[in-house]
Amino acid sequence: MKNLFSPFSLKSINLKNRIALPPLCQFMAEEGVPNDWHFAHYSQIAYGGVGLVIVEATGISSEGRISPKCLGIWNEEQKIAHTKLAKEIKDGGAVAGIQIAHAGRKANSEVPWDGAAHIPQNDPRALEIFGPSAIAFDDKSLTRVPKEMTIEDIKKVQNDFVSAAKNALEAGYEWLELHFAHGYLASSFFSSYANQRTDEYGKDKGKFLLETLKAVREVWPEHLPLTARFGVLEFDDKDEETLEESIELIKKFKENGLDMISVSMGFNTLNTQIPWGAAFMVPFTKKVKNEVNIPVTTAWGLGQSALANNAIINEELDIVMVGKAHFVNPHWTYQAAKELRIEKPERVLPVQYSFWLEKYKV
């Protein structure tokens, strides 16, 4: 029977267990370049025993970052630093993955602990923001109206995704995730809240996402996993319809080379009733898995080892994304192994730790 500590293989990549760190923004970069914070943060979690580490949402361009403090992977300096970061993760015993993203109409904002509002247009740090239509996200903090993208803008962004994927590969990452969720650019193209275009990208709201996937698949090696985090519903009283539309699009993703889907929310509107709670996205993820027959994962409230383990045992998830719990305890994998009574749980850690933990059990 499969459990949280069973190995998992996708394409040529083998995970030693089914625990993954999802992409969680740190907002600690300068000019998009990984630094000592990132090296320490990601390596300590890798050494903690996790099978897969996915580096946070990384901008495909300067204007594509959520904030000026976000990571980027569009130039050589950034790529060189990412090479070190990917190596640090691998040296810790985990597979090194990365999520590449364009923040769309949510871009160019302050870091969360400074309010997360759009940077004012008269600020020297201000950059132009883009969206499928000229509709601001809200009237409270993300109030700037994005430029409605021209076809040329769309093609440029898709080319930027391709370039970012190439840089990620050259940096040594072996697992690539496209950010198609959380109200960022790709997600907003799929949403009627943000996309009110009358052209082909408005009539077919999945067109931008599918084209971007196809373009990246052409340059990302076939033997390495290509995945996407996709917002399948909003919790806005239209969920049944949105979920069915999402599933149909995921079927097209699979037909065009997607290897796994990370199921999440759209976050394209504030008018929602999200049922926050333990493992609350798992039922929707299971529905996607059953209807599309594609490997699936999700995050959101899976920091309890028994819950995470049951999701694997019940074949609801193929791997489990454990985020905030790793901030509390970078050795969460070891904690889970003990709680689940895995034989010799110490051995999920490096031998420099496990030897002493096994030798002196006090």
What residues are annotated to the active site? 184
d(C-alpha 154, C-alpha 62), whole Å: 16
- Give me the residue label for tokens 């090696």: 221
Residue owning tokens 């459990």: 3
Q: Which two tokens stand for residue 171?
A: 């940096």
Look at residues 237, 244, 326, 327 and name the one whose alpha carbon lies nearest to residue 275: 237
Run of H or E residues at 13: strand 13-15
Closest CA to 287 of 335, 326, 255, 246: 246
Distance of alpha carbon 359 from alpha carbon 362, whole angstroms: 9
Element (H, E) at 9: strand 8-10
Query: Could you tell me if 44 and 50 are in contact, meaning their C-beta atoms sit under 8 angstroms apart?
Result: no
Q: How many CB atoms lie within 10 A of CB 118?
A: 23
Nearest-CA neighbor of 309 among 282, 269, 347?
282
SS3 at position 339: helix
